[in-house]
A = this chain, B = another copy of it.
Amino acid sequence: MATIKDVAKLAGVGVGTVSRYLSGNSSISSKTGEKVAAAMTELSYRPNSMARSLSSKKSNIIGLWVPSFSGSFHRKMLQTIERELRKRDKHIILANAEDSISDKERIDCLDYLIERDCDGILMSCPELSVFELAKIEARYPKVVFINRNIEDLAEKAFSTNHYQGGRLAAKHFVELGHKKIAIVTGRMNAQDAQSRHKGFLDELLAAGIEVDPSLIESGGYSFQQSVEATELLLSKKKPFTALFCSNDNSGMAAISTLSKHGITVGKDVSVIGYDDIDLAEFTSPPMTSVNIPLEAISRNACHQILNLCYGESLPIQNLFEPSLSIRESTHSITSNK
């Protein structure tokens, strides 16, 4: 592998000149530039990224901490982040907390990234407490949180207004005339699950509707657990005409389980999911779901990390409003009963 010295020698110039040519932001006479360019192609020179990093004190690596790879949800996030950072010639190194049970393991996972001298870190961490996040930020300020709402760290947190998301769902049910409403919650130690739950309940309350606590079961954001939760709800023999699910996995599980019991979704029971993943359109019936602008969130988080790490000044927005994608899994109660 040719080094910058080889290029300099072949071009008959000093190493500084080659380096300056490479960086592009110094003035180089056109003849010298040509000589350097020729030598570089001749030797098929490619700068050594380690040497570069060492010297410039920038690794050009951004760490990406994800809780899991599952779901269309993270997919869109990963995809957007990869695109945004590659565009700017930054590289992504990956840490996955998939099997991490304890906060300690999750922090270890972060250390694994820090060890590699990332310039900054993107974290999508639904489950760490605000307290832990604050500690992380104090120790490692070049960090940005995706899908978290943190009051004291507002400019480093990018997320949807999940409270509003919950309200949207409730409002839709109210408008359709539903009164007996059940809920399959998400992983309730996750902040987003809490917010959408609270928003949902608050909006109902505002409409004078109270949810029977025994019609609330946890689906833990997983398909399997949500199947069980739905079964549990049905076994109680307390009628309900609407079901709010904390994500689309849950929603799909609920639709499938209700159908299996001979209940026509959209007619007997209306179901709303959350996240509006690609598949939501293809359940039968197609599922009404709260849409979160994940691409915009991810893009803005990337911009903020670029601002923090490389002195750029890209405009950013922190909080994004959800919307409701209405499909056939929800119908007015009066039209059927």
Are A279 and B48 in contact, CB atoms less than 8 angstroms apart? no
Distance in angstroms from A78 CB to nearest chain B CB is 5
The verdict on A189 contacting chain B, using a C-beta distance below 8 Å, is: no
**Given the complex of chains A and B, what is the CA–CA distance between A30 and B217 in angstroms?**
59
Distance in angstroms from A114 CB to nearest chain B CB is 8
CB-CB under 8 A for A260 and B284, given A49-B116, A95-B86: yes
Q: Which chain B positions have C-beta within 8 A of A211?
A: none
Q: How many copies does the complex hold?
A: 2
Most-contacted residue by chain B among A115, A116, A281 (CB, 10 A) = A116
Q: Which chain B positions have C-beta within 8 A of A70?
A: 72, 75
**Given the complex of chains A and B, what is the CA–CA distance between A98 and B69 in angstroms?**
15
The verdict on A137 contacting chain B, using a C-beta distance below 8 Å, is: no
CB-CB under 8 A for A69 and B59, given A94-B94, A253-B282: no
CB-CB contacts below 8 Å: A26-79 with B: 46, 48-51, 53-54, 59, 61, 64, 68-70, 72, 74-75, 78-79
- Nearest CB to that of A61 among chain B residues? B93
Are B94 and A50 in contact, CB atoms less than 8 angstroms apart? no
**Given the complex of chains A and B, what is the CA–CA distance between A224 and B278 in angstroms?**
9
CB-CB under 8 A for A50 and B92, given A70-B75, A284-B256: no
Are B93 and A79 in contact, CB atoms less than 8 angstroms apart? no
The verdict on A187 contacting chain B, using a C-beta distance below 8 Å, is: no
Are A91 and B117 in contact, CB atoms less than 8 angstroms apart? no
- Nearest CB to that of A82 among chain B residues? B96
**Given the complex of chains A and B, what is the CA–CA distance between A83 and B50 in angstroms?**
25
The verdict on A112 contacting chain B, using a C-beta distance below 8 Å, is: yes
The verdict on A227 contacting chain B, using a C-beta distance below 8 Å, is: yes
Are B54 and A51 in contact, CB atoms less than 8 angstroms apart? yes
Are A256 and B282 in contact, CB atoms less than 8 angstroms apart? yes
Identify A46's interface contact among B72, B74, B115, B259, CB under 8 A. Answer: B115
Q: Which chain B positions have C-beta within 8 A of A260?
A: 284
Chain A positions near chain B (C-beta within 8 angstroms):
46, 48-51, 53-54, 59, 61, 64, 68-70, 72, 74-75, 78-79, 82-83, 86, 91-96, 98-99, 112, 115-117, 223-224, 227, 253, 256, 259-260, 278-279, 281-284
Q: Which 7 A-B pairs have the closest CB atoms?
A: A50-B53, A69-B75, A50-B54, A82-B96, A69-B78, A92-B94, A49-B117
